[in-house]
Structure 1
Amino acid sequence: MSPGTLPPVAFPSVPLLAQNSSPLPVARPDLSVGDRRPEVVELQAVLQLLGFYDGAIDGIYGETTRSSVAIFQQIAGLDTTGTVTATTWNRLFPATVPPGTPLAASSGSRNPVAANPAPVDPSTAPSAATFPVPPSSSRPPSPPVSSSPPAVSPVPRTTTAPAPAEVSLPVLKEGARGSVVEQLQTQLDQLGFYSDGVDGVFGEQTTIAVKKFQEANDLEKDGVVGPATWAILLRRGQ
């Protein structure tokens, strides 16, 4: 051996799995009507996922579960016993290992060599398409889809309150009597045009006061209280 040359090192070989792909054994117990255990929950869940079971996932192997298992077995080409054995488990969980997958190196290997795995054949890889499809009669019914939009509760419309109707006051002139005359006399008194007392009688003094008010507001001085006189009288009295 010449100086500077390292001695050859022997690397341990990495064992490979068998080149053929075969289902791994499923370590699950046989199930039949009357069983109550966690594996029943697993069974019901996968049957529901595949569309064969629409009952409660309660871990109880009842008649509904047995019927769903039998339908799955019939579609999968198995004996329709309604009992779950290793054969049925393997169809529900078709686990396979791609060929050429290396085993993990042991902890004692100082220089593990990772082998390149062989390419996976898509035809041997498990996929959702390999699961049996339940007949339409055994699938849980889908909720109906309505083409019409959902009903929307009507939003109460806020309406503007109507303006109060104008008070229709009668035309007053000398000789009129009543509460409206009292209102007229009160308004004239507050504005300084009348001082003879509020008695509800449209007399001479009330007529004089009305004429003074009309003259002061550029109205026709006729002593008759009509719409124009009422409008200014009420506006000034506010």
Structure 2
Amino acid sequence: MRRIAAVIAGGALAATLVACGPAPADGNLSQEPPAPTASAPSSAPSSQRPDATETTPTKPSTSKPTTSKPKKTAPAVLLKAGDKGEDVRDLQVRLREISWYVGTISGSYDDATVEAVRGFQAKRGLPETGKLDRTTWKRLTEMTSEPTHDQKHNVLKPGKAILKEGSTGDQVKELQARLKQIGWFAEDVTGMYGQVTVSAVKGFQEKREIPVTGEVDQRTWDRLVAMTRTPTQEELDNKPAEPKQPGALDKRCLTGRVMCVDKSTSTLSWVVDGKVVKVMDARFGCQGMETREGVFQVGWKSRNHTSTDYNTWMPYAMFFSGGQAVHYSPDFAARGYNGCSHGCVNIRDKAGITWLFDQVQVGDKVVVHW
């Protein structure tokens, strides 16, 4: 980022000038006039005796030296809300790489970018300003790679196919089973990559702004894996799944303080050291804006939050993955499962989420699973 680099370099230059100080224009280090040269002794005797001069002793000062405390200054801001340009694109790509920014790279420091920066700062114990300062930028660049031109300008090129029409085998079976989990594949899992599988892959790619080829490249596979769980043997063999036992918890929810979000039962369980303390109904993201699955941590909380991106009130928000949060949803309370979210975990029990908000601490675990 040239402008950010220039700002940082400029600060270093200014510090150097202050430390060195400007030299006089003629190159001399002193502007004092030269000392007079010794003159010849005078022939006229002095009328004053050598010991006639009196000196009055100076009393030592009793006042204490004044010391001024250095004032704390806010970190220099490199980028902030309202800024536009290549530097913002660079920032957004880096935040997206570590799942704090979701969406198209716009080059505009909008509300979504502010929230992503604030979440990143909160997770790392930095001042939660939503503005990009030097410390935030240093931490971010240490964790991310240099964005390419294509990444910064949403240029998507298909990668080398790892599965395509005519492929066969266990990985094709896994592909079909994963597509089936999210409603893109409705046939039996066969392990043969035919036209039905091509159509399913194309639909999946188009919905997620991946180059539509019908072939599975690494980007397509990674996105699918991130949205689905490892298929069971029953799924791979086209056998009906055994019903889930009531109260069964994902093993990742058994230790510590966990918001355990189960998509298969549409519930959120608050679990402490393996004991279920409270269970509430939950609703998830619409197709194309799915709630991400995996193990996360609560990065920051906002009791009375409003999403300006969607003009949506989302109180008691507990953010766990970029802009995705667990929060109360008036729409869920009113319409139930007839609606869906933009990716967040919606809760309709207002009293329950109010209570939960006060229990959950930044750093607590969040597990989202099927």
- The two structures have a TM-score, normalised by structure 1, of 0.31
TM-score (norm 2): 0.21
Write 1 or 2 for the structure with the bigger share of strand.
2
Between 1 and 2, higher relative CO (CA 8 Å, sep ≥ 6) is seen in 1
